[in-house]
């Protein structure tokens, strides 16, 4: 898994997303925001973790 940070200078926005290195796919679509803390807060973490099967492990 890789956590990626993006800056879009033309739109003046930031974004983050998790990337599954084994499956070579993005786990959930990134959400653009004015700052990285806002992008991190807005990221659909539950969707990404469900895609990984994380909740299956802890429940």
Show the domain range for 28. Answer: 2-58
Q: Quick one: pLDDT at residue 55?
A: 63
Average pLDDT value for residue range 8-13: 94
Number of domains in the chain: 1
Number of neighbouring beta carbons within 10 Å of residue 12: 9
- Hey, what are 44's tokens? 């659909």
At residue 39's C-alpha, the angle toward residues 42 and 30, to 5°, is 80
Q: Provide the whole-model pTM.
A: 0.76
Could you report the per-residue pLDDT of 42-58, keeping only the tens digit for each?
999 988 888 877 665 55
Residue 29's SS3 state is: coil
Q: Quick one: pLDDT at residue 30?
A: 86
């Amino acid at each position: 898994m890789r956590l990626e940070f993006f800056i879009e200078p033309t739109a003046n926005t930031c974004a983050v997303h998790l990337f599954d290195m084994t499956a070579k796919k993005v786990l959930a679509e990134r959400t653009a925001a004015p700052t990285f803390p806002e992008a991190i807060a807005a990221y659909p973490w539950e969707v990404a973790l469900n895609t990984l099967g994380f909740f299956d492990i802890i429940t």
